[in-house]
Structure 1
Amino acid sequence: MGDKLMAAVQNATTDDIAGCEIYLVTPAISDADAFLPCIGQILSAVPVAAVRLRLEAGAPETLIRAIEILRPAIQNQGVALILDGLPELARQTGCDGVHVDGADVAAARRLIGDSLQLGAFCGTSRDLGMQAGESGADYISFGPFHDTCDETDMALLQWWAEVMELPVVAECGSPEQMLENTALLSQLTRTADFLATGMTGQTQDGQPDALAALLRAIRAAS
């Protein structure tokens, strides 16, 4: 299942997406059992391309157990599970990929081999993005994009989308924050392949509704 994130861009129908998809980023999970109902309800209600699973630091056996609890709930929905950091653990536990800093791509690729997706966060650095792509990244993420980002940041995203073949992810704030800035949301939606948006907590608390509203806004802007 390591190609699901790429396939989301390449093979989705117009009924599935409208050019840009949601890439959901979890908070740092400390209690996988408590988080399980939340992520299950969100993924049942809102189509997303991938979930970037962030885990609080802990012993390897604790992290493995957390992944084993949450992985079926994510992958059984046809959603790619991308582990934040921890490339060796991503390979060992059947995740679909791993997300690392751009400077760590070459080392991560050696650890995970060729079967898993590898994402690279490159801030607002064109050079780092190109380096990460040459080192084996499958997608590049830039950002974060927020109210104070300038034209140079947006130009980088636009340039990458027009010139490079690798999918590009725009790192953003919460769904609520993005819905408050429709101009920025419209710009990002027309440029990025994926919009990485963070959950606001480890419980439901209306998050399916917020994500559904964001998805409607994305489709309207595309």
Structure 2
Amino acid sequence: MRDFRLYAITGENFHPGRGLVEVMEQAILGGADILQYRDKTGGREDRLRKAKELRELTRKYGIPFIVNDDIELALEVDADGIHLGQGDLPLEEARRMVGNKIIGISTHAIEEALLAQEQGADYIGAGPVYATQTKTDAVAPVGLDYIREVSKRIDIPFVAIGGIKLGNVDEVIEAGASRVCAISEIVGSEDPAGACRAFIDRLERKGRA
């Protein structure tokens, strides 16, 4: 898969009164270079409509579009990939269904990360680094030590996720992350594009160090 730096995930509860496509387009304009649609509560038709709109948006800007958890929806809108949690469909079965599309796996321990790599994941999410209000079923924070361990032992791309803000992203990068994901800090911002530019600046600054 094409490499990326800033992974944006939808979170409509963080921007009431503003449209989903409007907010996510601002994130892309600010530098988000991969986008995931995550919606655990919407009805089927509503989710299909939004996924189609985001698929069109990501094609317009030429960035990968990932659907969280729902392989059927991902295939229906021809998403670039699927993201799975530890309790979702096994990776091998997902691979049979999606072929060579991108598969990302959430991991919370090095054993999970190593297994995902061995089974052919294209990337992993490493976290939650900090406590997060985005997911009601989030596991306990894994902290920066997990990021350090993943950076040393995992060869496929990994993205640090979970409670990452502009106020703490520097220490996440210092721990070894070259790709980060933020949700509320981006989509909940009055200026999603500006928030993304600030994240990209931090990542680039570290790359130049």
TM-score class normalised by the smaller sequence: 0.7 to 0.9
What's the offset of the Cα at 1:203?
Answer: 7.0
Q: In the alignment, what sits opposite 1:102?
A: 86
Q: In the alignment, what sits opposite 1:52?
A: 36
Q: Structure 2: where are the runs of 5+ without partners? A: 132-141
- Equivalent positions of 1:143-158 (< 5 A) are 143-146=127-130, 153-158=143-148
- Equivalent positions of 1:1-222 (< 5 A) are 6-8=1-3, 21-28=5-12, 34-44=19-29, 46-104=30-88, 105-112=91-98, 114-123=99-108, 125-146=109-130, 153-173=143-163, 178-181=165-168, 183-188=170-175, 191-200=176-185, 205-222=190-207
**Residue aligned with 1:76, SS:** helix
Partners of 1:186 and 1:200 in 2: CA distance: 16
Q: What's the C-alpha RMSD, in Å, of the aligned pairs?
A: 2.9
Partners of 1:194 and 1:183 in 2: CA distance: 12
CA change 1:38–1:28 in 2 (3 A) is closer
Greater fraction of residues in strand: 1
**Residue aligned with 1:179, SS:** coil
CA change 1:53–1:99 in 2 (3 A) is same
What's the offset of the Cα at 1:27?
Answer: 0.5
Name the count of aligned residue pairs: 194
Would you say the 8 A contact 2:170–2:202 is kept in 1?
Answer: no
Partners of 2:159 and 2:166 in 1: CA distance: 18
Partners of 2:79 and 2:85 in 1: CA distance: 18
Would you say the 8 A contact 1:24–1:199 is kept in 2?
Answer: no
TM-score by length of 1: 0.75
Partners of 2:114 and 2:183 in 1: CA distance: 25
Would you say the 8 A contact 1:103–1:128 is kept in 2?
Answer: no
- Give aligned-pair identity as a percent: 21
Q: Structure 1: where are the runs of 5+ without partners? A: 1-5, 10-20
TM-score by length of 2: 0.79
Q: In the alignment, what sits opposite 2:137?
A: none
What's the offset of the Cα at 1:116?
Answer: 0.9
CA change 1:47–1:164 in 2 (3 A) is same
